[in-house]
Amino acid sequence: MFIDYITLMLINMVAGLFLLAFYVYKGIDSPEQKQWIPGFGVVGAIALTTGLHMIFTWPVNGSFNIAFGESSVLFGVLFIGASIALAQGWELLTLAIYAFFAGVAAVVIGIRIMNLGLTKQPFLSGVGFILTGLAGICAAPTLYLRTNRAWRLFGAGVLVAAALIWALTGYMAYWSHLESFGKWVPASMR
């Protein structure tokens, strides 16, 4: 049996997407930008750490290490970058440009997951990746249109939809992992 912490990565992403949705909806034009630093930083740290471990050690079977590990690194770097930028009072445009390319990668991953029938629910996972990717692709327009309430509401809606898909996937995975790993013993204790 392999080590699988994709559940942690998924629920961390859910928290991050909900935080980002709330930021897009209510915080992007607020003078109180520093309140977002801890949440973005925590999400970024967990995503970057687990993503790096996954891409360097390949703890799960097959291409899941690429899809979840590499996208987690991109997600984590963006959240850490946002946390630092907000702490320093820097503009977010360069991160939005980076998010565009990370978003395109997520869309490609989502389409390919559906195409190859990967995961237990390839359509749901594919749509989750695609919606998350669309949020990244739309980051720069969102910064530009920050005063457009309808655009921000639409962006927050896309983020919430993606978060709900990942929440369903993550919590269902916790449910099944607790059973399937229930009797697992590390090699050092066998």
Tell me if 167 sits within 8 A of 21, measured CB to CB.
no
190 pLDDT higher than 90: no
Alpha helix stretches (DSSP H) within the chain: 6-22, 37-57, 64, 71-88, 93-116, 122-137, 139-144, 149-180
pLDDT digits (tens, 9 = 90+) for 118-127: 999 999 999 9
**For 155-175, how does the pLDDT look when each residue is reduced to its tens digit (9 = 90+)?**
999 999 999 999 999 999 999
- The radius of gyration of the chain's CA atoms, rounded to the nearest angstrom, is 17
State the average pLDDT for the chain.
94
What interhelical angle do 6-22 and 122-137 show, nearest 10?
Answer: 40
Instruction: Answer for the pair 103, 159: CB distance below 8 angstroms, yes or no.
Output: no
Beta carbons of 129 and 113 less than 8 angstroms apart = yes
Among 57-61, 82-86, 118-122, 129-133, the minimum mean pLDDT is found in 57-61
Domain spans of the chain, in order of start: 6-177
pTM of the predicted protein model: 0.93
Q: What is the pLDDT of residue 2?
A: 64
The two tokens of residue 96 are: 């939005």
pLDDT of 114 > 60? The answer is yes
Mean pLDDT of the region 13-20? 98
Q: What is the mean pLDDT of residues 110-125?
A: 96
Q: Fold for domain 6-177? A: 1.25.40
pLDDT in tens, 73-99: 999 999 999 999 999 999 999 999 999
Averaged over 8-34, what is the pLDDT?
Answer: 96
- Please report the pLDDT score of residue 23 as a whole number: 97
| Per-residue pLDDT at 40 exceeds 70 | yes
Q: Express as a percent the part of the chain with pLDDT over 90.
A: 87
**What is the dihedral angle through the alpha carbons of 86, 66, 15, 6, rounded to the nearest 10 degrees?**
-140
